[in-house]
Amino acid sequence: MLCFLRGMALIPFLLVTWSSAAFIISYVVAVLSGHVNPFLPYISDTGTTPPESGIFGFMINFSAFLSAATMYTRYKIVEKQNQTSYFSTPVFNLVSLVLGLVGCIGLGIVANFQELTVPVIHDGGALLAFVCGVVYTLLQSIISYKSCPQWNSLSTCRIRMAISAVSSAAIIPSILSYICQCPCKLDTLAAPLPSKKNGESKG
């Protein structure tokens, strides 16, 4: 195995930790600022208006970078494994990497183009990140099966495929939900939640 890959497991760990913190911090700031309802808001809604938009953009941009680093590391690992004992065409691994990086670009678009400012570009980036991310996980699951049992256990392959299947099954409901709720959601975001001061002045 390549020497520089030692200890690279820190990258996906940092990716999950950082991304989770990005969503949680943006959510807390948005709720405390009165910009979103606290009950299950869209992730993009928690990064629409300042100050949470700055936090969301900065942290998701770094998440996109960490995602790309994770995918490239995985690509090099599979490449080295395939050179040691051939189990799949190198093109398959390369296509997976390219699709994953395209998904990372979509994630960067989501971070830099706010939902209310440029909704078409924002939603296009979200769709790109979601679809390419799902296809990437599917291809990686297939690669895992091809490299089993020498490089992966069967249980690991099954877990990866199960995650891929759940992600794939979520595509259609997510798109339908977006189509049905998008106009209403934009109207809700355009009108900020009433503050306590407004309520007191009316009383």
Residue ranges of the domains in the chain? 7-190
Q: Can you list the residues of the chain whose pLDDT is less than 50?
A: 1, 188-189, 191, 193, 196-203
pLDDT at 43: 84
Nearest to 63 by CA among 108, 5, 118, 125: 108
Say if pTM beats, i.e. exceeds, 0.75: yes
Nearest to 175 by CA among 130, 137, 138: 130
pLDDT at 184: 54
> DSSP letters of 107-145?
HHHHHHS-TTTSHHHHHHHHHHHHHHHHHHHHHHHHHHH
pLDDT at 155: 93
In whole angstroms, what is the distance from residue 49 CA to residue 56 CA?
10
pLDDT at 125: 94
pLDDT at 185: 55
